[in-house]
């Protein structure tokens, strides 16, 4: 083991061999542990390389929906974002969420790519919105969906955006042709407890079944809110997280 002084590097020569090896081993583990806890920041170009380690990634510069009415994106233009992986790497760049295809796209120079291994994500922030990916299949971790995170904590509130692609209208007598059109559908909300699958909020009774340990408190609180109001759902989940602390 080396001790650093202002004048020179000194070697611990007087330690017995077994103690010297112990100190070396402990120091190595300490350095490794701290290295793992350090968050590394990179540009989005490095994320493309990170992706290509696990999977072939191709450019997606062609827009298959350019002739349709409307668009499938939450943000029509690419916005500033950050990808954070489960191993504490952060990648900043231009991104957007394709609601219809349920994919996160990102720009590397002028080329468009999409996140092809979403199971490695901790979360993604685009503009002021945070996205998480929930796997639906333990065998195929990339089989899942993106959700917008509204409330953090042991109990999370998620929102699922959606668009519908209406079929094109074929020209007929007295009817003009019309290309396929994207139409927004209403938002759906989900509860995520721990590492379980998200559960769609459909009724107050179904919600109560998710909170068996606090049924009385939650039943009383549910009387004060509407499941049709996002702000009420946010208050509900924040209340639950508060009484569980």
Model pLDDT for residues 79-89, shown as the tens digit of each residue: 999 999 998 89
Q: Tell me the pLDDT band of 140, cut-offs 50, 70 and 90.
A: confident
Q: Tell me the pLDDT band of 3, cut-offs 50, 70 and 90.
A: very low
Q: Which residue, 104, 95, 175, is CA-closest to 127? A: 95
Q: Tell me the pLDDT band of 151, cut-offs 50, 70 and 90.
A: very high
Distance CA 57, CA 48 (A): 8
Enclosing domain of residue 5: 1-36
Number of domains in the chain: 3
Q: Residue 122: pLDDT above 50?
A: yes
> Mean pLDDT, to the nearest integer, of 179-206?
93
How many helices (H) and strands (E) the chain has is answered by 5, 15
Does 137 lie in the same domain as 108? yes
Whether the model pTM is above 0.75: yes
Distant-in-sequence, close-in-space partners of 219: CB < 8 Å, separation ≥ 6: 208
Does 166 lie in the same domain as 82? yes
Q: Which residue, 39, 55, 43, 35, is CA-closest to 119? A: 55
Instruction: Report percent pLDDT > 90 for the chain.
Output: 56
Does 222 lie in the same domain as 151? no
Does 75 lie in the same domain as 159? yes
Does 238 lie in the same domain as 159? no
Distance CA 191, CA 239 (A): 13
Q: Which residue, 199, 193, 195, 201, is CA-closest to 233? A: 201
> Mean pLDDT, to the nearest integer, of 103-121?
92
Does 193 lie in the same domain as 230? no
Does 237 lie in the same domain as 158? no
pLDDT tens for 159-190 read 999 999 999 999 888 888 999 999 999 999 99
Mean pLDDT score across all residues of the chain = 83
Does 50 lie in the same domain as 130? yes
> Mean pLDDT, to the nearest integer, of 73-94?
93
pLDDT of residue 142: 78
37-41, 123-127, 236-240: least confident range: 37-41
Does 116 lie in the same domain as 160? yes
Q: Tell me the pLDDT band of 32, cut-offs 50, 70 and 90.
A: very low
Q: Residue 25: pLDDT above 90?
A: no
pLDDT of residue 213: 82
Q: Tell me the pLDDT band of 143, cut-offs 50, 70 and 90.
A: confident
Does 169 lie in the same domain as 236? no
Does 19 lie in the same domain as 135? no
pLDDT of residue 211: 87
Does 144 lie in the same domain as 65? yes
pLDDT of residue 157: 98
Pick from 200, 218, 233: which residue ends a domain?
200
* Residue 9: strand pairing partners: 4
| Sole residue written with tokens 């007295």 | 174
pLDDT of residue 102: 95
- 21-30, 195-204, 207-216: range with highest mean pLDDT: 195-204
């Amino acid at each position: 083991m080396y001790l650093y002084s202002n004048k020179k590097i000194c070697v611990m020569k007087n330690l017995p061999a077994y103690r010297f090896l112990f100190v070396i081993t402990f120091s190595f583990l300490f350095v490794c542990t701290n290295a793992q806890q350090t968050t590394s920041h990179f540009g989005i170009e490095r994320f493309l390389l990170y992706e290509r380690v696990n999977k072939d990634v191709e450019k997606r510069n062609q827009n298959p929906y350019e002739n349709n009415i409307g668009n499938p994106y939450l943000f029509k233009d690419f916005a500033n974002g950050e990808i954070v992986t489960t191993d504490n790497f952060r990648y900043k760049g231009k991104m957007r969420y394709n609601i219809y295809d349920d994919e996160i796209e990102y720009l590397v120079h002028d080329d468009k790519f999409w996140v092809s291994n979403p199971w490695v994500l901790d979360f993604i922030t685009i503009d002021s919105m945070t996205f998480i990916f929930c796997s639906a299949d333990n065998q195929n971790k990339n089989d899942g969906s993106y959700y917008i995170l509204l409330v953090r904590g042991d109990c999370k509130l998620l929102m699922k955006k959606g668009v519908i692609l209406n079929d094109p209208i074929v020209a007929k007598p007295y009817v003009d042709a019309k290309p396929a059109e994207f139409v927004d559908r209403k938002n759906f909300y989900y509860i995520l407890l721990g590492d379980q699958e998200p559960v769609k909020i459909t009724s107050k009774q179904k919600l109560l079944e998710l909170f068996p340990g606090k049924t009385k408190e939650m039943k009383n609180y549910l009387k004060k809110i509407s499941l049709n109001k996002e702000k009420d759902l946010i208050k509900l989940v924040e209340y639950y997280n508060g009484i569980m602390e």
